[in-house]
Amino acid sequence: MDGRDASVPGGVTIYEVAQRAGVSIATVSRALRGTGPVAGATRERVLRAAEELRFTPSRAGVSLAEGRHAANGIVFPNLSGPYFAEVLIGYEEVASELGRSVVILSTKGRDPVRDLVRELAGRVDGLAVFGSTVPGDVIDELAASGLPLVLISHAPRPGAVTLRSHNTAPARALAGHLLQHGHRAFAFLGAPYATGDDVDERWQGVRGVLGAAVEPVATAEYTVEAGREAALRLLAGGRRPDAVICSDDEVALGAILAAEHLGLSVPHDVAVTGWDDIMAARHARPALTTVRQPMRELGAQAARALDRLIAGAGAAPGHRTLDTELIIRGSCGPHPPGRSLS
């Protein structure tokens, strides 16, 4: 690769600016971007050389000078369903505004995940990882290598930037609301796979209020079809719960379909609640009581945090939690006249 790979319109390269100013190309990049320590006199020389040569830095040229790719990566367990789509939209929109392309890796049905993630890490400037998609020892390995990392929907982790939405408190509020309806027997549909993940926090919040009155019921996946299959088994059994609290909206929509298939009325025979507030939740019949979380903002904040880490702009490791909101609709039971339903 020669100097012309960092060309810009007009044929002037970052190498020529460096030669005119008598500095390295990395110093030119830092001076023009303001992303690192450069002495005042040196900065003036670089700016003067760039002006004399009418140099406008291309993204490819600056990235080349800094040994960077102008791209970051994001790893999801899969890309199906509206939840992941919303998070990805928020992430990609901000990354685009910041001038970065995004390389997406979906691990569902692919093996070995470890090698795929390591290969992706070598092609990007930083990596965002969703939940527990990547094994912990691989995360430790990547962090030790110095690769900028942001973990989405993840518990706090020393030395990392982690983001998630509130789970426990709104789950407690949801459980309390169902008790106010007079429900006394409950199932939590979509039992957690991994201790400490978002669904596990929701389960802990619900169980903290309902105790032994709530039974965990596993689903194969967090999808409409998996929710329907698990709910069919649950609702056709001899001890039907008064209310089914679902791990997310897709599972809840599957539970509503299962109730309909069995000739049960929601919410009169069984109440159903979800989590996320995807678009289908408000259009379901009955409309779904759920917990709204800022899915796009979760992705957007992850992209901003990763960009700051890549740029060395002082993003400190730490944990950030986004607010959620209990949304009361018709699927949990009738409400007094005048009660506002979202």
pLDDT for 75-106, tens place per residue?
Answer: 999 888 899 999 999 999 999 888 889 999 99
The encoded tokens of residue 259 equal 């109730």
Instruction: Let me know: does 149 contact 142? Beta carbons within 8 Å.
Output: yes
Residue 313 burial (CB count, 10 A):
10
Residue 242: the pLDDT is 98
pLDDT, tens only, 258-298: 999 999 999 999 999 999 999 999 999 999 999 999 999 99
What residues are paired with 151 via a beta bridge?
Answer: 129, 162
Distances (CA, A) of 235 to 171, 261, 290: 22, 10, 20
Instruction: Let me know: does 199 contact 193? Beta carbons within 8 Å.
Output: yes
The helix (run of H) or strand (run of E) holding residue 125 is none
The encoded tokens of residue 214 equal 């709530």
Residues 149, 127: Cα–Cα separation, whole Å: 5
Indicate if the pLDDT at residue 128 is higher than 90.
yes
Closest among 210, 248, 252, 207 to 230, alpha carbons compared: 252
Of residues 66 and 92, the one with the higher pLDDT is 92
Distances (CA, A) of 127 to 103, 120, 135, 212, 316: 9, 9, 14, 41, 16
Number of helices (H), then strands (E), in the chain: 13, 12
Which SS3 state, helix, strand or coil, does residue 316 take? coil
